[in-house]
């Protein structure tokens, strides 16, 4: 989706900008994703059980979790990012969060860090998918923008020199907006925290039926703790 410009940025060959639909631009801060950054430790220490890192990029958080002894799987739609994650020692798959994933309904933690709540441009649909992936006692850890930020759902693209990526959907969610969006998706905002200028929210599955992110059909959530995750298989089907 993001394509060659993003891959060149990961390789250090480009420093692209993000262009918004209104013409405004801002840097794509790829360097934040390549190495552990301030605030990451606060995410890692809150993860427990088998953890799915959605939009894992080059895998810094997936690897940090594994090094802490937490079974973790990263997923990303960019082949080069998945290769970088694997070469660093992280377990990563080339997958779309809305496609087939191992362990659906059995993940204890799902991560949406680094603004990945924006994936697909529809935060409610994405959070519904997260609700499908979580075991009933599980949690989603979501990085959001500071309170007062504009709620945005738009199309953006990457620019580098004369090159431009295709437009793709993205969203931005503020800390004071996530609870309402989570509620619409069958999740409950249970806690929040800040670290080094970054904002995060903890979401839990709510009681009762969940809504399938693709079909809008009801999916009844189970009760109890469910099966013990398999750290070696990382919840393979």
CATH code for position 151: 3.40.50.150
In a domain, 236, yes or no: no
In a domain, 104, yes or no: yes
162 touches 145 (CB < 8 A): no
pLDDT digits (tens, 9 = 90+) for 77-101: 999 999 999 999 999 999 999 999 9
In a domain, 226, yes or no: no
φ and ψ of 131, to 5 deg: -60, -35
Is this structure's pTM higher than 0.85? yes
In a domain, 15, yes or no: yes
- Other beta carbons within 10 angstroms of residue 112's beta carbon come to 27
Residue with tokens 């799902």: 110
The CA distance from 127 to 28, in Å, is 24
Number of domains in the chain: 1
pLDDT attached to residue 217: 45
Task: Say which residues have a Cβ less than 8 Å from residue 152's Cβ, sequence separation at least 6.
Answer: 171, 172
φ and ψ of 183, to 5 deg: -60, -40
In a domain, 227, yes or no: no
- Domain limits for position 134: 4-220
pLDDT digits (tens, 9 = 90+) for 199-218: 999 999 986 444 344 444 43
In a domain, 83, yes or no: yes
Task: Say which residues have a Cβ less than 8 Å from residue 233's Cβ, sequence separation at least 6.
Answer: none
């Amino acid at each position: 989706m993001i394509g060659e410009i993003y891959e060149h940025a990961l390789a250090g060959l480009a420093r692209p900008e993000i262009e918004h639909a209104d013409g405004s631009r801002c840097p794509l801060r790829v360097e934040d994703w390549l190495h552990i950054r301030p605030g990451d430790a606060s995410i890692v220490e809150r993860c427990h059980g088998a953890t799915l890192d959605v939009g894992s990029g080059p895998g810094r958080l997936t690897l940090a979790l594994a090094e802490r002894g937490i079974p973790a799987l990263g997923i990303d739609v960019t082949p080069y990012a998945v290769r970088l994650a694997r070469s660093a020692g992280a377990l990563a798959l080339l997958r779309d969060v809305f496609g087939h994933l191992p362990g659906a309904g059995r993940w204890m933690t799902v991560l949406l860090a680094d603004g990945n709540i924006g994936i697909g441009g529809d935060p409610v649909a994405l959070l519904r998918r997260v609700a499908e992936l979580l075991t009933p006692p599980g949690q989603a850890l979501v990085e959001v923008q500071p309170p007062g930020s504009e709620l945005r759902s738009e199309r953006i693209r990457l620019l580098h020199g004369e090159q431009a990526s295709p437009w793709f959907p993205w969203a931005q969610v503020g800390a004071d907006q996530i609870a309402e969006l989570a509620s619409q998706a069958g999740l409950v905002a249970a806690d929040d925290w800040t670290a080094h200028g970054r904002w995060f929210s903890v979401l839990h599955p709510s009681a009762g039926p969940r809504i399938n992110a693709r079909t809008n059909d009801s999916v009844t959530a189970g009760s109890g703790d469910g099966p013990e995750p398999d750290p070696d298989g990382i919840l393979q089907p």
